[in-house]
Amino acid sequence: MRLPDKRCDIAVAVARIKDSDTVMVGGFGVPGTPMALIHALVDHGARDLTLIKNDANEPGMGIDHLLKSGQVARLITTHLGLNSHAIDLMNSGRIQVEFNAQGILAERIRAGGAGIGAVLSDIGIGTELADGKQVVEVDGKPHLVESALRADFALIHADRADHFGNLAYVATARNFNPLMAMAATRVIAEAETILPLGALDADAVHTPGVFVDHVAELVALSGEYAVVQR
Amino acid sequence: MRLPDKRCDIAVAVARIKDSDTVMVGGFGVPGTPMALIHALVDHGARDLTLIKNDANEPGMGIDHLLKSGQVARLITTHLGLNSHAIDLMNSGRIQVEFNAQGILAERIRAGGAGIGAVLSDIGIGTELADGKQVVEVDGKPHLVESALRADFALIHADRADHFGNLAYVATARNFNPLMAMAATRVIAEAETILPLGALDADAVHTPGVFVDHVAELVALSGEYAVVQR
Amino acid sequence: MSPNWLLFPGNTPLSNAKTRMIARAAREIAPGMVVNLGIGLPTRVVDHLPADFPVCLHTENGLTGIGPSLPPDRADRNLIDAGGAYVSTVPGSAFFDSATSFAMVRSGRLDLTMLGAFEVSSQGDLANWKIPGKFSPGVGGGIELAQKARRVVVLTTHTDRAGNPKLRDTCALPLTAQGCVSRVFTEMAVIDITPQGYALAEIAEGVSLAEVREATGAPFTIPHDTVPVF
Amino acid sequence: MSPNWLLFPGNTPLSNAKTRMIARAAREIAPGMVVNLGIGLPTRVVDHLPADFPVCLHTENGLTGIGPSLPPDRADRNLIDAGGAYVSTVPGSAFFDSATSFAMVRSGRLDLTMLGAFEVSSQGDLANWKIPGKFSPGVGGGIELAQKARRVVVLTTHTDRAGNPKLRDTCALPLTAQGCVSRVFTEMAVIDITPQGYALAEIAEGVSLAEVREATGAPFTIPHDTVPVF
């Protein structure tokens, strides 16, 4: 037995994304944001997308390219504070934004990846984030039903991958990537390095390849991956 | 700044366990079962315990020592198939046993460790495992409320630890250990090796030390940790 | 741990008929699949796959990429499968915790599972974890495998030790999961579960249709032309 | 990402009064604590801890053991804190995903968080994420920090830019969390939240009781004897 080879060209993998699909995008700020996959999605042109991402990056970076190109109808996120352009789009109604508490967004995505229908949480009770949510009592205390999130595609940035799609992340570039890599029908990972089978220590794999459909090696890192000069 | 040192003697750490406490014990079969901590708990003698463990090990091994010493009142588990002694205790009513689907036990423990009240799952619907459980609809489909599990103590076996309690596991000895290490008020980890701060790669830590209260180095590995001769 | 491991200890010599059944079941595995083989007869399916066959074997105690079983003198004390057998890895294996392991199962990343059975119904219900009053070691991971793998097939003797049919109209024993089984492999036949009930797909060499009818507890349809022989 | 980062950009020079307030707040951190410092003023608290102080700093984007901030030329592009500042590690640091990060928060492993505020109420309610019609970049991780850290203290200017009191009887702005704040540090005073409302604990050097009364939007009790000065 040998494990299947999932190496793939970025453009070919991204070409499967259709209009109106839901797409999860890894990253918290620059670290872990799959810049190359995002550019491939801009080139591909699928529209009316629902994006799920922690933040909207900064103007002119990351998913801001998809906002600029008008491909995004809806954004499920936690915080847009660094992207005034995204806030303008939201305030003028050109995109619909759903805010989640950050850890609850993480849990909803993880639940989707774990085949769980929802988690029950008391986060946000007594605030407007609880508005409209179903309430269930657990041990006599009210909890909100936080339903699982799944996507048609997840776009993931890894430091290292092997041919089977086992992934390893570095430092704070991990963030939402391992969660989203479990929660989509098709998971596309870009990796800074792709290694032969056996070169990733089985104990050090962060995302088992079973969750990953396609891996593509980045031939070069664009300036968008670099330290942001402020 | 430096990180606090959590090294501790096994007997001192285990001495905090009280009668009627709930204790999670890592391990799936021999791998990952904290044999030394279990022996310390037998020596300590706390009674009327509720144990949460995937399985009951085999006769004369692991938590079977606690069953034999009569310290266990209740066992929350998934499968006792390798321990005929545990099955006898259950069938004769000397211990109370609650069976969970294995992945649901894992999710309930993880929920406890994640500060989530419960997960909603469709596993077991249409079987006797659903009996008596609260049902909530998500997207029009019935789900069972699987409430979070927490414990007073978790007993963890790690391969390597550092002074702060960061833990790393090997091979299939990981199993329930990282989940239980999040889900108890006090977490005691035995480690085959304890390393100075900085010797565990920050990307390769499986359980962040923030979850761990005490770490103890095993001076020798007893025969119980060895390959089982069948 | 699968519910039937006590009934099918690992190393018994098999009859020719059982060997042929297992070899036939091995052809159920398509290239690229992620597969979980239940304890007992299903585990032996792997012996009938070509050496270079691209497949990923999953075991619920936390490993993808199971390699060959190892004798005690060459075993790694930390590396077992869910049945407690000492196994090895392949290039590209990954280890993970029990929550992640069942996340794979419940979120649909398992293409196929092969399980044992006490009883199967013509609606595809499966009973394989409990015989009230006789055998109730717990459900282990079987319920989630049966309910959530994309395809569930059963490997079993056609009748139990007393000669009673295991393929029945309805199950008398407590269910593991409802309507989950697609196909049953026995030493006598390959039988599909269809919306219209059982359908004979193939028959074992040297077995007559009358013998299969006699050993089956419910009617089945037969192919319009000749019945393929395996 | 904390909600107030736009209001408190990282590198502004501070007044003496603010520096004194931050130095005082640093004394709130006891040895061995796990602490999350919100973006802005709270981040600067770390500059007032002794070099060898035993503490673990947490940032919600996936790091325990935050080391000193780094200038762009020495920064690691993959290593930021939740405010986007380039930081470093210390010996014993661990990286983890966003679900694990908030698991720490929600399950009670965070001993202390220091947050900014738009408004605080005398019942300990906190509003710091939204000014309807003006500022609503999303709640980020603030809601879970405020609701679930074992102790929540606020660092803020005593009044807003228009001179209006931030310490009020009730909050007019949308809440981040109810009844979560234990203590408020301002450039004028340290004020506790008690079941009876605000209680002046300490007063800044050179500030009169009358000035604090004037700048505070609700009554507060004062110590029976002299008010300690910081």
Q: Do C90 and A2 touch (CB under 8 A)?
A: yes
Q: Mean pLDDT across the stretch A157-171?
A: 98
Give the rounded percent of residues in chain D with a pLDDT score beyond 70.
Answer: 94
pLDDT digits (tens, 9 = 90+) for D166-201: 999 999 999 999 999 999 999 999 999 999 999 999
Residue of chain D nearest B187, judged by CA positions: D109
Residue of chain A nearest D84, judged by CA positions: A29
Provide the chain A residues 102-161 that lie in CB contact (below 8 A) with chain B: 107, 111, 114-122, 134, 136, 138-139, 141, 143, 145, 147-148
What is the SS3 assignment for B225? helix
Residue D195 exposed, middle or buried by CB count within 10 Å (0-12, 13-18, 19+): exposed
Please check the confidence at residue C12 and state whether its pLDDT lies above 60.
no
Q: D140: which chain A residues are within 8 Å (Cβ-Cβ)?
A: 78-79, 81, 101-102
For residue A15 the two structure tokens come to: 């070409």
pLDDT digits (tens, 9 = 90+) for D114-168: 999 999 999 999 999 999 988 889 989 999 999 999 999 999 999 999 999 999 9
User: How much is the pTM?
Assistant: 0.96
- The CA dihedral of C137, C141, C144, C148, to the nearest 10 degrees, is -140
D in contact with A (at least 3 C-beta pairs within 8 A): yes
Strand D220-221 to A22-25 pairing: unpaired
Q: Mean pLDDT across the stretch D62-88?
A: 95
Residue of chain B nearest D52, judged by CA positions: B1
Count CB neighbours of B141 within 10 A: 11
Looking up tokens 């002299």, which residue turns up? D226
Q: How far away is chain A from the Cα of D145, in angstroms, using its nearest Cα?
A: 10
Q: Do C143 and B124 touch (CB under 8 A)?
A: yes
User: Per-residue DSSP letters for chain C?
Assistant: --TTTTTS-TTPPPPHHHHHHHHHHHTT--TT-EEEEPTTGGGGGGGGS-TT-B-EEEETTTEEEEE----GGG--TT-B-TTS-B-EEEEEEEE--HHHHHHHHHTT---EEEE--SEEETT--EE-S-BTTTB----TTHHHHHHHSSSEEEE--SB-TTS-BSEESS--SPPSBSS-EEEEE-SSEEEEEETTEEEEEEE-TT--HHHHHHH-BS-EE--SSPPPB-
A11 contact D CB<8A: no
C-alpha to C-alpha distance for D110 and D117, rounded to whole angstroms? 19
Q: Do A139 and B147 touch (CB under 8 A)?
A: yes
For residue C217, the one-letter residue type is G
Please check the confidence at residue B87 and state whether its pLDDT lies above 90.
yes
Domains and CATH numbers, chain D: 3-221 (3.40.1080.10)
ipTM over 0.85: yes
Nearest to A81 among D5, D98, D178 (CB): D5
Report the CATH number of the A10-106+150-219 domain.
Answer: 3.40.1080.10
For residue B27 the two structure tokens come to: 């391990």
- DSSP annotation of A136 reads E
Q: Do A1 and C91 touch (CB under 8 A)?
A: no
Nearest to B80 among C61, C95, C138 (CB): C138
C in contact with D (at least 3 C-beta pairs within 8 A): no
Nearest to A198 among C91, C108, C148 (CB): C91
The reported pLDDT for the residue numbered D7 is: 36
Could you tell me if D79 and D2 are in contact, meaning their C-beta atoms sit under 8 angstroms apart?
A: no
Chains touching A (at least 3 CB pairs under 8 A) are B, C, D
pLDDT confidence band for D5 (50 / 70 / 90): very low
For residue B156 the two structure tokens come to: 């963890």
Q: Do C62 and B101 touch (CB under 8 A)?
A: no
Please check the confidence at residue B173 and state whether its pLDDT lies above 70.
yes
Picking from D68, D110, D82, D90, the residue whose alpha carbon sits closest to that of residue D5 is D82
Q: Do A208 and C55 touch (CB under 8 A)?
A: no
pLDDT digits (tens, 9 = 90+) for B205-226: 999 999 999 999 999 999 999 9
| N-terminal to C-terminal alpha carbon distance within chain D | 31
Could you tell me if A42 and A69 are in contact, meaning their C-beta atoms sit under 8 angstroms apart?
A: yes
Instruction: Please enumerate in sequence order all residues whose Cβ is within 8 A of that of D140, keeping only pairs 6 or more positions apart, or say none.
Output: A78, A79, A81, A101, A102, D1, D2, D3, D82, D129
DSSP H helical segments within chain B, as ranges?
10-14, 35-44, 64-68, 84-91, 102-113, 177-180
Q: Do D104 and B164 touch (CB under 8 A)?
A: no
C-alpha to C-alpha distance for D1 and D34, rounded to whole angstroms? 18
Q: Is C60 a catalytic residue?
A: yes
